[in-house]
Structure 1
Amino acid sequence: MIALSLAEISQVVDGALHLAGACAPSDLVNGSVQTDSRLIEPGSIFVAKPGAVTDGHLFAPVAAAQGAAVLVVERLLDLPVTQIVVVDAVAALGALASTVVARVRAAGTLKIVAVTGSNGKTTTKNLLRSMLERVGPTVAPRGSFNNQVGAPMTMLEVTDDTRFLVIEMGASSEGAIANLVRLARPDVGIVLTIGLAHAGEFGDLDGTVRAKSEMVTDLLPTDVAVLNADDPRVAQMAAITPARVVRFGQYGQVDVRASDVHSGRTGTTFTLHLADGQSAPVVFPVLGEHHVMNALAAAAAAEVLGVSLRDIVAALQATTRAERWRMEVLGGKDDVTIINDAYNASPDSMSAALKTLAQIGIPGRRTIAVLGEMAELGELAGEEHDRIGLLAVRLNISQMIVVGQRARRMHISTINEGSWDGESAYVDTPDEAFELVRNSVNPGDTVLVKSSNSAGLRFLGDRLGDLFS
C-alpha cells in the first residue's frame, strides 16, 4: 500500500484512532493490508472482518504478535497495538482501497480495467495481466479475488509506480458490482457473458442481467465499455452506458474479432483482428474454443489501453493454461489426456467443456466425462443438470461418470436415452470415481473432470493427472 499516516487512515475509514505506546497520528504506514492473520508481516494493517464462519477479531492477537502496525476493528480490543475502531470493517476496507487508488491515479498514469461476466472472468483477467505487464507495472487479483473484500484487497496492492490495475468483479447480489465500480472508478469495463451461473442468487436471468449491467451504467463518457457482441444480453448494454463502446466477437459487425478459428488437443489457432484494422495469426495454447472469446475481450481492452498488436499476440501465445483447475491439461502416459476443469461450473461452462471434450478426442478412442454438481442454480438446478446429461448423449461422449447426489439427474438423463451407444455410471464420492476411471481407462482416452468448486472434483482431477503422468 502507499504510505498514509495513522491519522489519514482513521479519517478515510471514518474510525476512532486509539494509539498504543509511542505511536503518533503522523506515523506513516505502508505495509500490506490483510484480512488473514497468517499473512501479517511487520508493518501490516490487519482488518478484523467478521465472517459467516468465524470472526476476524479472534485472530487479532496473532496479527498483533506478528507485528501489525494497526488493527482496523469493530470493537476496541485489549491488545497493546494501535487500533482504529469502525462501524463496518468491510466498508472501511473498501473506503481505504478507494482512497489509495484515487491518490495513485491523481499522481500518475494509473489506468483501471474491470472485468465481470457469468463465465471467463479469471481467464480474461489473467490474459489482460499478461498483456499489460509487457507495457508497465500491473496489479491484478490473486486467484478469484472478486467480491466486496477481494476486490479492495487487490486495489490496495497498487503503489505509486503502478501503471495498470485489473479488477475482477463478481456479484453475490444486485448492487454489489455497482458498489465496486464506485470504489474503483474503472476507465475500462468489460462484460463477458450473461448466463445461469449464480442464477439461484438472482432468481432468474433478468436479475443477472441487471447485476452485470452495473459494470457499464456508471461509466463516464470518457470511459470505454468492452462488450461481447455475440451475447445478445451483453450487446444490449450498449444502449444503457454513457461510455464509448468497443464490441468483440466472432460474428456480425464488431471492433475486435477472430476468424479462421480451429481447435485441437494442443489449443486453438485463429486470426486476431483489432479495431484499428491490424490483424495477426495467433497460436493460443489454452484448450477450448470458448476461451477465444476471453482472448478477444482481453485484446480489446488492451488495445484501448495502448498495448501493441505484437505484445497482445505474444501474451496470448505465452499462456499455456487459463488458470489452475480451469481446462488444465494433465496426464500423457499411454497417451491418456486428463482435462481438469473442476474449479467452477455453470450450464454454459459445462456445455463448453463437453463440446471441447468431444472435439479433441482421438478418433477411435474414448471420451470420458467425470461430472459433478453445478452449484448455485436454485430452482433451475434440476432441469439444467438434465440438459447437461442430454448434451453428453447428443455429443456421443463415450462414458459418463456422475459424482454426488446433487448431480445424479445428469446420470438419470443419460441412461433414459435408449439411442445412446455410450454408458453412464453413478458414484457417491470422488474416491469411487477415481477407482472407476483407473480401472476402465484405455490408452489414448481423453478424460474431462468438471464440476463446481464445492463438489471437490478438482482434487480428483489432480489425482488422475498424477496417475497418468
Structure 2
Amino acid sequence: MIALSLRDIADTVDGVLHLPAGEADPERLVNGSVQTDSREVVQGSIFVAKPGATTDGHLYAPLAAERGAVLLLVERVLDLPVAQIVVADVVVALGSLASTVVSRVRSEGRLKVVAVTGSNGKTTTKNLLREILERVGPTVAARGSFNNQVGAPMTMLEVTHDTAYLVVEMGASAVGAIARLVGLVRPDIGIVLSVGLAHAGEFGDLDATVRAKSEMVTELLPTDVAVLNADDPRVAHMSEKTGALVVFFGEYGNAMVRATDVRASRAGTTFVLHLTSGEFRPVTFRVLGEHHVMNALAAAAAAEVLGVPLDIIVAGLESVQRAERWRMEVLGGRDNVTVINDAYNASPDSMTAALKTLAQIAEPGSRTIAVLGEMAELGSLAGEEHDRVGLLAVRLNISQVIVVGQGARRMHISTINEGSWDGESAYVDTADEAFELLRTLVQPGDTVLVKSSNSAGLRFLGDRLGDLFS
C-alpha cells in the first residue's frame, strides 16, 4: 500500500484512532501490506479484523500483532499494544481505504484501471490481461478469484505510485454488488464477458443477473470504454445502457475484435486475432477449450484500447499455459492418458463448454470419460439443469459418465434414461469411490474430464488422477 499516516487512514475510513501507551504520533506513516488473514501478516502490515460467517477476525488480532502488524482496523477496541482504528463496519472501511489509495495514485496521471465481470471467465480473462500488461508496465491484478466486497479492495490496496495498470475482477451474488465495487475504483475500461445461470439461485432469476452485470457499464463516463461480448445478446444489449465508447468482441456479428479460423485440440486452440485497427495475427493459445478464446478476445480488446501493440498482445496470450489452478488444467500424460481438472467452478454454461471440449479434443477411436459433480447455487433451476447436462453427455457420445454425490444424482438418472446403452453411466457417493472406480476403468489413450462446483470437492480428485497418470 502507498504510505499514509495513521491520522489520514482514520479520516479516510471515518474511524477513531486509538494509539497505544507510549505512542503519541498520529502522523506516523504506514505502508505495509493489508491482510485479513493473520497468518499472512508480516512486519509492518495492517490487519483488518473482519467478522466472518463462522469466526471473527478480532479473535486473531493478537496473532497479527505478534507477527508484526502495526495497525489494526477493528470494530471494537482491543487490549493490544498496537495502534487501532475503530470503525462501524470494517468491510465498508476497507473499501473506503482502497478507493482512496486508487484515487490518489490515479491523480498522478499514470494509472489505468480495467474491471472484469461475467458469469464465467472472469479469472481467466484477468490472468490473460495481466500477462499482456506486465509486458508494458507495472501491473496489479487480483490473486486467485479475489472478486467480492473484500477481495476486490484487497487487490486495489496493492497499488503503488509505480503501478501503471490495475485489473480488478468483480463478482456478485446480488444486484448492487458490482455497482458498489465500480463506485470504489471507477474503471477506465469495463469488461462484461457473459450472462448465464451461474449463481442463479442467489440472484433469483436471469433478469436479475443481467441487471447485476449491467452495473459494470451503466456508470462509465463518455471518456471510458465498455468492452462487450457481441456473441451474447444479453451482454451486447448493454451497449444501450452505457454512455461509454463500446468495443465489441466475439467470433460473429458486429464484433470489432474477433477470432477467425478457430481450431481446438489437446494442445490448445489456434485462431487468427483481428483488432479494431485492422491488424491481424495468428495465435497459438495453449489454454484448453475453444470457449476460452472469448476470454482471450476480451483481454486483447482491453489491451488494444490501452495502446498495447499487437505483437505484445499475442506474446502475452501465447505465454499462458492454463486458465488457472483447477480450471481446464491439463494433467496426466502417462500411457497417453489426459486428465482435465476443471472442478473449481461449474455452471450450466461452463459444464456445457467443458463437455463439448472433451468431445472435441479426443483423438479418433479413443474414449472420453466425464466425472461430474454438483453445480451449486442454481436454486429452483438445479434439477432441470442437472438433467440437461446428463442429456448433453449422451448426445455428445461421451464414452463413460461417472456422477459423484447426491447433489448431482439427477445427471446420472437423466443419462440412463436418455442413453441406449448399459453401464456407460455410473453413480458413486464420494470422490474416494470415484477414484477407486477410475483406477480400474481408465485405459491408455483415454481423456478424462473432472468437472464440478468447488463445493463438491472434485478438484482434489482431479489432482489425484493427475498424479496417478503422471
Structure 2 residue aligned with 1:270: 271
- Verify: 1:15 aligned to 2:15, yes or no: yes
Aligned length: 469
Report whether the alignment pairs 1:3 with 2:12. no
Aligned-pair distance for 1:108? Answer: 3.3
- Provide the C-alpha distance between the structure 2 equivalents of 1:227 and 1:108, rounded to a whole number of angstroms: 26
Which TM-score applies when normalising by structure 1?
A: 0.99
Matching residue's letter, 1:214: E
* Distance (Å, rounded) in 1 between the aligned partners of 2:435 and 2:344: 17
Work out the CA distance in 1 between the residues paired with 2:162 and 2:216.
26
1:359-389 CA-to-partner distances (Å, cap 9, x unmatched) read 0112111100000000000000000000000
What residue is the counterpart of 2:322 in the other structure? 321
Q: Distance in 2 between matches of 1:251 and 1:425?
A: 38
Backbone CA RMSD of aligned residues: 0.8
Q: Does the CA contact (< 8 Å) of 1:396 and 1:421 recur in 2?
A: no
Q: How does 1:17-32 map to 2 (within 5 A)?
A: 17-20=17-20, 21-32=22-33
Which range moves more in the overlay, 173-182 or 13-22? Answer: 13-22
Aligned partner of 1:304 in structure 2 is 305
2:162 equivalent to 1:157 = no
Instruction: Give me the whole-angstrom Cα distance separating, in 2, the residues matched to 1:209 and 1:147.
Output: 18
CA contact (8 A) 1:6 1:29 kept: yes
Partner of 1:391: 392
Query: One-letter code of the match for 2:458?
Result: L
Amino acid at match of 2:382: A
Give the Cα–Cα distance (whole angstroms) in 2 for the partners of residues 418 and 167 of structure 1.
44
> 1:140, 1:165 within 8 Å by CA — same for their partners in 2?
yes
Residue 330 of structure 2 aligns to a residue in which SS?
A: strand
The whole-number CA distance in structure 1 between the counterparts of 2:69 and 2:328 is: 39
Instruction: Tell me, in whole angstroms, the C-alpha distance in 2 between the residues paired with 1:153 and 1:306.
Output: 27
- Aligned AA for 2:6? L
8 Å contact kept, 1:216–1:237: yes
**CA separation in 2, counterparts of 1:273 and 1:418?**
42
Q: How far apart are the structure 1 equivalents of 2:48 and 2:447?
A: 46
Residue equivalent to 1:250:
251
SS in structure 1 of the partner of residue 223 of structure 2 = coil
SS at match of 1:258: strand
Q: Decide whether the 8 Å contact of 1:396 with 1:420 is kept in 2.
A: no
**1:389-423 Cα shifts (integer Å, max 9, x gaps):** 00000000000000000000000000012435771
Gaps spanning 5+ residues in structure 1: where?
none
Secondary structure (helix, strand or coil) at the match of 2:308 reads: coil
Q: Secondary structure at the match of 1:139?
A: strand
C-alpha distance in structure 2 between counterparts of 1:278 and 1:166, whole Å: 25
1:277 alignment partner, SS class: coil
Q: Map Cα deviations across residues 330-350 of structure 1 (whole Å, 9 max, x no partner).
A: 001000000000000000000
Q: Is the 8 A contact 2:330 2:340 kept in 1?
A: yes
Q: How big is each residue's C-alpha offset from its partner over 1:273-297, in whole Å with a ceiling of 9 and x where there is no partner?
A: 0011100000101110000000000
Matched position secondary structure for 1:107: coil
**Could you tell me how far apart the structure 1 residues matched to 2:274 and 2:439 are?**
44
- CA–CA separation in structure 2 for the residues paired with 1:322 and 1:368: 21
1:414 maps to what in 2? 415
> Which AA in structure 1 matches 2:191?
I
Q: How far, CA to CA, are the matches of 1:365 and 1:123 in structure 2?
A: 29
Deviations 1:191-227 (A, max 9, x none): 0000000000011100100000000001111000000
Matches of 1:38 and 1:402, distance apart in 2: 37
Cα deviation, residue 22, structure 1: 2.0
* Match in the other structure for 2:53: 52
Conservation of the 8 A alpha-carbon contact between 2:394 and 2:419: no
Letter in 2 for 1:18: H
5 Å matches for 1:33-432? 33-420=34-421, 423-432=424-433
Tell me, yes or no, if the aligned pair for 1:108 and 1:160 is still in contact at 8 Å: no
Change (3 A) 1:222 1:420: farther
C-alpha distance in 2 between matches for 1:465 and 1:47: 38
- Kindly indicate whether the alpha-carbon contact (under 8 Å) linking 1:192 and 1:297 is maintained by their aligned counterparts in 2: yes
**1:23 Cα shift?**
4.3
Quote the Cα distance in structure 1 between the aligned partners of 2:128 and 2:468: 30
Q: Secondary structure at the match of 2:418?
A: coil
Partner of 1:416: helix, strand, or coil? helix
Deviations 1:420-467 (A, max 9, x none): 577100000000000111101111000000000000000000000000
| Counterpart for residue 453 of structure 2 | 452
Identical residues among aligned pairs (%): 79
For residue 43 of structure 1, report the CA deviation from its aligned partner: 1.1
Contact conserved, 1:372 with 1:450, CA < 8 A, in 2? Answer: yes
CA offsets 1:215-241 (integer angstroms, 9 cap, x no match): 000111100000000000000000000
How far apart are the structure 2 equivalents of 1:250 and 1:345? 24
Report how far residue 254 of structure 1 moved.
1.4
Calculate the TM-score normalised by the size of structure 2.
0.99
Unaligned runs of 5+ in 2: none
CA–CA distance in structure 2, aligned partners of residues 445 and 39 of structure 1: 41
SS in 2 for 1:300: helix
The letter for the 1-side match of 2:228 is L
Once the two structures are superposed, what CA deviation does each residue of 1:68-123 show, in whole Å capped at 9, x if it has no partner?
Answer: 11101000111111110000000000000000000000013000000000000000
- The letter for the 1-side match of 2:443 is N
Paired residue type of 2:312: D
Distance 2:236 2:253 in 1: 12
For 2:18, the aligned partner's letter is H
SS at match of 2:197: coil
CA distance, structure 1, for counterparts of residue 418 and residue 2 of structure 2: 61
Are 1:370 and 1:403, in contact at CA under 8 Å, matched by a contact in 2? yes
Matched AA of 2:395:
R
**1-side partners of 2:83 and 2:39: how far apart?**
19
Which amino acid letter does the alignment assign opposite residue 343 of structure 1? Y
Give the whole-Å Cα distance in 2 for the aligned partners of 1:326 and 1:249. Answer: 21
Offset from partner CA, 1:29-88 (integer Å, 9 cap, x none): 000011111111111111111111100000011111111111010001111111100000
Partner amino acid for 2:206? Answer: L
Q: How many angstroms apart in 2 are the aligned matches of 1:240 and 1:420? A: 50
Contact 1:173 1:201 in 2 (8 A): yes
Whole-Å separation in 1 of the counterparts to 2:353 and 2:393: 11
